[in-house]
Each structure stands twice: as structure tokens, then as C-alpha cells.
Chains A and B, each alone.
Chain A
Amino acid sequence: MAVIEVEHLRFGYTQTSILTDLSFSVNEGAFCAIAGPNGAGKTTLVRLLAGLLKPAGGTIRLNGEKLSSYAPKSLARQIAVVCQEYVPVFDFTVLEMVMMVRLNRRDFVLFEDESDRHIVAEALEQTEIVHLAGRKLNELSGGERQRVFIARALAQKTPILLLDEPTNHLDMKHQIRIFDLLKKLQTEQQKTILAVTHDINMACQYCDHAMLLAGGEMAWGNPSEVFAVERLKCVFEVDGFQGSFRSKPFFIPLSGRKKDTAGRE
């Protein structure tokens, strides 16, 4: 069943539009990667799906109902968002940061209960930041902060997760761990996951759907088809080599400088 349906979506911050006429639908329990060059509108798409921006045209439906008809609180029970990492002004601890999202779920509640504590503890464990619980967010490295933001989204316990470059700032080990975790959430809890990523290879390994955004348009479908070598070379303007490992494609970008300079000279 399709949980997210997008029809003829258009958006632009100024006169020039960033997204022109996007249509796609995401089924329940799908794990989708959104890739594309810088400025292609990946973050914009995430913000539109999260209800942070209003479309200039077209519709977004969530569970069959218009996204704009959801009140903030009921939307927050459906979709959790991991925005790009930032440093907060005030010195909250990691535990306070994660607990915060639980408290806002109910009306007229100032304090956490036992189940909130349980859910937060689980989110900290899943993202491997239990040992950081008492630390201030400002003292952490970029990668640690990123995992705190993912823990916040998990603590929201939503059926849908939207992640804007969740493995940004993470080393290889933690990149794999985060994608393993997302895969686990998908298979064990049937969560629907949309993740913006620059890592085409990670997308091919883990995701069952992929979107390549460029110039306001998109390619959508199976990762190995969407990330075809000729398309990647054209969209990212790089030379590269595509291979296959365990029947999943991988792509290695290669220096195209030689050819380029030769062409110009």
C-alpha cells in the first residue's frame, strides 16, 4: 500500500523552480534512497515531504490524505525527520535532547513517564550513544551529534523516517552501522524510510528504491537501473567505473581531468 503519494509536485524558492512536476509513490515498508548533485533539490524534497515547505503546485498525500490537512502533532506521529546536523544555542544534554521529542506527544504533560524512559533508552542503544547520555551536545563531534539526531527521530516512534544525509560526518564504521540499523528497522518494524545520500554504493547495497534528482526532474525505480553508469556520468559530470559485487552494482568515480584538459587544449 502506498503511504506517500506525490503528484505533479512543483516547487521553487524564487521565480526559478527547483522541482518541476515530480510524481512518485512510496509503498509501506520501502527503503528509498534520494541522490543527486548539489543543488538538485534533495533537501527541498525532504522539507516538502516533512510539511516544512508548501508546494507551489501538485499534491502530497500521506496515508491517502493531503499532507496539509495534518495538524503538527498528528504529523509528528507519522513522520520523524533527521535534518542536517547543527549546533544548538543552549547547552542541552544528549538525554534531554532525545527526551524532549517524547514530551511533546501528549497534551498538558510536563514530565516523562516510564514508557518514555524505556523508548529513549532503546533509541540511545540503537544509535550506540548510551555512554554520551549525560554529555552536552556542544561537546560532541559532528558524527556523535548526527547519531543524537537520529536517536531523536527514532524516539518519535513513527512509521515513516525521513533522513537528510544521515551518514554525513560519520566514519565508515558508523556509516555501515547506521545503514544496518535503518535496514533492521525496515525489515523488523516495517518502517518506511527515505534517506538522502551522496553515497550511491550504500544506496545500491541497502535500498530497494532509488531516486536520482537532477535539473528538477527525476529517475525513480530500482537502484541498479536508476544508477546506471551512463546516467551517473552524465548527471554528476564525472568519469567512472561500474562493477558488480554480490549482484549489487557499485560505482567508482575516476579522475576525468586528463580527458578534459586534452579536450580543451
Chain B
Amino acid sequence: MNPVLTPKKLMFRIAVAAGILLLLMFLCSLIGSKTIHLGVVLQGPRLESGQANVDYEIYMHVRIPQIFLAAIVGAALACAGVVLQAILRNPLADPYLLGISSGAGLGTMLAVVVAGVSWSFWGISSITLSAFVCALATVWVVWLLGGGGRRGGMSGLLLAGVVVNAFLSAVIMFLNSIAQAGQIQTTIFWLMGNITALENYGLLWISGGIVTAGVLILLRLSVSLNLLSLSPEEARTAGVNVKWVYQGCFAISALITAVAVSLSGLVGFVGLIVPHAVRLFIGPDHRQLIPLSALAGAGFVVLADAVSRTVVAPAVMPVGVVTALAGGPFFLFLLVRRGGKLYTER
């Protein structure tokens, strides 16, 4: 009998995907409104003539942090999308469904419009902090309102998420209507999803570390997720501690999504289409789906970010606009190719 999945096969696929991602990141680091010569960058911070090396400065302090941020955001969103689709057993689930997006949006609005002054703590801007805290608080409220996934009844959670999202969106619109023009510019850009170079390497390491750890823990839970994605009752009789896995998966996806959203705003579609696209190629086994979706999501946002930097250069288009413009038609293409249904109807 053929093996279902061997460690060798999984490692090979991860290695190939990681290789493609690194190549993509390298190529995208050379693209931007200013042409950069790699040879010049390699000369270091000072040119032979003693002048500051502008190419090096741009490459190390703008391009590299921006590309790594794009990869972190993409990996987090795609991985959270996979996990939420599995535990909600709903192929239309998306990391923003459970109130994270509107919570973070509210956090941003509060930081910009209500607090007014901009401040920072340990190099982290008030917008990022406020968005992160409000995102997690909102998810917690949704979890409580939705009954905490009691008995695997996930419809309460979905419903609570939808209602909280709608309510907070109204609050955001209200705050927008009383905000000043300059403030609106900031918040609109944030709401559209916007990856900008993070001057703070420390924050980049921390967020990268959180997302990597999250993906690894989710990978450890992938065997249980496979069983859960079929039916919570069957998973229970096969020995899965359903409540514990639900809570763990929910908390980790909320955390990594909140990290992504507080750094980049609402980059849409990644958490919905990347899991679908990857599933189409390698099937629904979460042992493969989790790591490969994380890598594919990272690649997708890195690419979208490169497009957003060049298409309307020297201006920058929000990356969320690129992912939605590319993701929407791609999703429809998948749908049409499969005769209007991605999954067997229940």
C-alpha cells in the first residue's frame, strides 16, 4: 500500500516552497521606485569615495524590512485562514470573519482620531499597539458571545463575528465622519492594507518569531485538525480533545492575525484564496496545508507588495488593493473552472 505522507515527501515540498519564496523575496527586493544596483549595495554603508552609500541605505533600511514584513503578514493570514476554515468547517471562512479586522480598525481609529497625538512605545507606534490590543479584545468578546465553540457548535461563533464586525464597522464610519481630512488619509490607507518599511528591526524579529512559533504549533495540531475538519464528534471518538484543540487553534490564529493586521492594516483576500489555491494542488491534509499555505501566503504578499510599489511609482498603492484586485478574479477563475462549486454541497 502506498504511504499517505512520509517525512521525506513533506520536507521536500517545504524545501521547494521555501526556495521559491526566498528567490521571490530576493527578486522583489530589487524592484522599486528607485533602481538599485546589487553590486553597489554589496560595497557596504560607505562608498570608496567616502560618501554614504544611498543604494545600501535603501536596500537595508527600506527594501529588506518591507519585504520581510510582507512575508510575515502573508504567512500569518494564509495560515490563520487554513485553520479557521478547518475548525469552522466552512470553506468561506477567512481570518477577518471573527471580528479581528473591525477590532483592529477601531483600534486604529481610536489611536488616530480620538487620542489625536501620535506617540510610540519602545519604537512601536500608537496605531500598531492600539490595533493589536483592540483586535485581541474584539476576538475575545466574539468568543464569549459565540458561546466559546461549545460542543463544536460553530454557528454561534460565526454569527457573533458577523454581528460584531457590522457594529464596529459602523463605529469606524462614525469616527471617520468626525475626523479631520489629514487623519482620514492615515486611516483609509490603513483600512486598505498598507505595508511600509518598518524602521524597527526588533519589532520585525518579534512579530516574525510569533508567527513562526504559531505556524509550528498549528503544524503540531494538524493531525487533530484533519479529524476535526471532518466532524467534531468523529474527532472526539478518535481521541481528539476537541475543546482543547478548538481553543488552541482559535487563540493562535487570532494572535497571528492580530500581529499581521496591527502591522499592515487590512490586507484582504490572502486568508481566503491562498488556502483554497494550495488545497487545490496538494489536497486537504493539514500536515501539508499549514506549512505550505504559510509559505505561499508569504510569497503572494511579497509579490503584491512589489506590484504596489511599482505600478503607480513614485506613489504607492496600498497592498490590500493589489491582493483584492488579483485575488478576486483568481478566486472566480477557480470557481468557474470547477463548475461553480469548490466543495461538495452537504
Contacts and interface: CB of A to CB of B under 8 A. Distances in A.
Contacts of A91: 283-284, 343-344
B310 interface: no
B344 A138 contact: yes
A152 B220 CA distance: 22
Interface string B1-42: 111111100100000000000000000000000000000000
Most buried by B among A89, A95, A108: A89
Interface stretch (A98-106, A181-189, A205-213): A98-106
Contacts of A110: 7, 10, 219-220, 222-223, 287
Contacts of B236: 50-52, 72
B239 A95 contact: no
A116 B4 CA distance: 11
A133 B2 CA distance: 10
A100 B223 contact: yes
Contacts of A101: 227, 238
Interface of A: 47, 50-52, 71-77, 79-81, 83, 86-93, 95-97, 99-101, 103-105, 108-112, 117, 120-121, 124, 133, 138, 152, 156
B240 interface: yes
What are the 10 A-B residue pairs with the smallest beta carbon separation, nearest first? A76-B239, A90-B284, A138-B344, A81-B237, A73-B239, A101-B238, A121-B1, A103-B223, A88-B230, A99-B4
B44 interface: no
Contacts of A75: 237, 239
B61 interface: no
Interface in B216-266: 219-220, 222-224, 226-227, 229-231, 233-234, 236-242
Contacts of B242: 72
A112 B285 CA distance: 13
Contacts of A112: 3-5
23 contacts: A47-B233, A50-B237, A51-B236, A72-B239, A73-B241, A75-B237, A76-B238, A77-B239, A83-B237, A89-B344, A89-B346, A92-B230, A95-B2, A100-B230, A100-B238, A104-B239, A110-B10, A110-B220, A110-B222, A111-B6, A121-B1, A133-B2, A138-B343
Contacts, number: 115
Nearest to A106: B223
Name which of A74, A99, A101 has the most chain B CB atoms within 10 A of its CB: A101
B91 interface: yes
Interface residues of B, number: 39
A105 B239 contact: yes
Contact of B240 (A80, A92, A93, A104): A104
Given A81-B237, A120-B1, A97 B230 contact: yes
Contacts of B344: 87, 89, 91, 138
A96 B285 CA distance: 8
A92 B284 contact: yes
Contacts of B2: 95, 133
Given A89-B91, A92-B285, 14 more contacts: A52-B233, A81-B234, A87-B344, A88-B231, A89-B230, A89-B344, A89-B346, A100-B226, A101-B238, A103-B226, A104-B238, A109-B223, A111-B7, A121-B1
